[in-house]
């Protein structure tokens, strides 16, 4: 069911415009290439409207925002909306600073997002107007666990209804929901948290998945999450003695490069609530 989504990416070769942080941007580009898409990066206000016009989707990540790139985010987002392109928001560090929280909230006001993808602390910040984000990693107290799962599913569906966006919360258990259905996904490994930017990589890839699967956006978003998590499992299985997080980063991207429909369908671990 979800496997078909990656085949569509490989056949469609979606061109994705990324306004993203300079920390993880190289990995975002290589992950987009690994899954079958094509990346382009541009954040200059005078450049972004032309670039987003030739793309199929726009990935806005506020990780190392500055005054100039923030202006670019709004211009690109509005242009992408005008053209009916897929637009995704990754609110990195929302809750960690006023500028990040306010930029993310204002983007949600002025741009229509197909998906908002973040960790639980970031998403709670956007939902509640406050949060307990500790840096750019999720706060433990907020974690989605088996115990808090039902209330988290309710929360994410309600936020999806309120915003009109698919909401994707990633962590030990991942939730991908619209107002009616929530994919609860149990792929991935805890060691992925020791690599910078697996969330950013997922946001770039997810944008490509939505572009290539316009009629099944919720499935596409869930398929991207399963692809990332499954790649984390496959990559880990290939680790040798002495390997660490740098090699693991390479192995995960390699596993995405080699991911096919059958592997994804066999390895995806999800239920729909």
Q: Can you give the binding site for its own copies, defined by CB under 8 A?
A: 15, 21-27, 29-30, 33-34, 38-44, 46-47, 50-51, 54-55, 63-68, 93, 96-100, 134-137, 194-197, 234, 238, 242-247, 249-258
Q: Is the CB of 152 or the CB of 253 nearer to its own copies?
A: 253
Q: Is the CB of 26 or the CB of 145 nearer to its own copies?
A: 26
Least distance in angstroms from the C-beta of 218 to its own copies: 27
Integer Cα distance of 263 and 120 in angstroms: 28
Least distance in angstroms from the C-beta of 51 to its own copies: 5
Contact 207, 59 (CB under 8 A): yes
- Residue 4's nearest CA partner among 201, 270, 219 is 219
Contact 33, 73 (CB under 8 A): no
Least distance in angstroms from the C-beta of 178 to its own copies: 30
Least distance in angstroms from the C-beta of 165 to its own copies: 24
30, 34, 35 from 264: Cα distances, Å: 19, 14, 12
Q: How is residue 68 written in tokens? A: 């100039």
Integer Cα distance of 192 and 253 in angstroms: 12
Integer Cα distance of 6 and 230 in angstroms: 13
- Residue 223's nearest CA partner among 253, 268, 181, 255 is 268
- Residue 58's nearest CA partner among 69, 46, 47, 48 is 48
Least distance in angstroms from the C-beta of 68 to its own copies: 6
Contact 225, 206 (CB under 8 A): yes
Integer Cα distance of 9 and 210 in angstroms: 9
Least distance in angstroms from the C-beta of 28 to its own copies: 8
Q: Is the CB of 129 or the CB of 244 nearer to its own copies?
A: 244
Instruction: Kindly tell me the sign of the dihedral angle through the C-alpha atoms of 188, 151, 168, 121.
Output: negative
Q: Is the CB of 210 or the CB of 255 nearer to its own copies?
A: 255
Least distance in angstroms from the C-beta of 212 to its own copies: 15
Q: Is the CB of 97 or the CB of 151 nearer to its own copies?
A: 97
DSSP state, residue 96: T
Q: Is the CB of 154 or the CB of 246 nearer to its own copies?
A: 246
Q: Is the CB of 84 or the CB of 242 nearer to its own copies?
A: 242
Q: How is residue 139 written in tokens? A: 């706060």
């Amino acid at each position: 069911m979800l496997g078909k989504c990656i085949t569509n990416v490989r056949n469609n070769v979606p061109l994705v415009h990324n306004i993203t942080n300079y920390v993880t941007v190289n990995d975002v580009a290589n992950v987009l290439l690994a899954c079958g898409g094509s990346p382009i990066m541009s954040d200059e206000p005078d450049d972004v409207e032309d670039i987003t016009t030739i793309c199929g989707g726009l990935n806005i990540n506020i990780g190392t925002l500055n005054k100039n790139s923030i202006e670019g985010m709004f211009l690109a987002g509005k242009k992408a909306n005008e053209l009916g392109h897929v637009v995704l928001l990754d609110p990195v560090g929302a809750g960690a600073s006023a500028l990040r929280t306010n930029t993310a909230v204002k983007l949600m006001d002025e741009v229509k997002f197909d998906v908002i993808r973040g960790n639980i602390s970031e998403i709670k910040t956007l939902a509640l107007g406050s949060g307990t984000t500790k840096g750019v990693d999720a706060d433990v107290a907020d974690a989605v666990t088996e115990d808090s799962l039902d209330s988290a599913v309710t929360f994410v569906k309600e936020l999806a209804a309120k915003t009109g966006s698919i909401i994707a919360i990633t962590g030990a258990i991942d939730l991908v929901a619209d107002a009616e259905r929530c994919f609860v996904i149990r792929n991935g490994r805890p060691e992925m948290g020791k690599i910078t930017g697996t969330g950013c990589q997922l946001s770039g890839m997810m944008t490509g998945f939505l572009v290539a699967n316009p009629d099944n956006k919720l499935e596409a978003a869930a398929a991207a999450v399963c692809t990332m998590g499954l790649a984390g499992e496959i990559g880990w299985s290939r680790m040798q003695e002495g390997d660490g997080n740098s090699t693991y980063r390479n192995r995960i991207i390699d596993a995405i490069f080699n991911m096919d429909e059958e592997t994804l369908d066999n390895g995806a671990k999800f239920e729909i609530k």
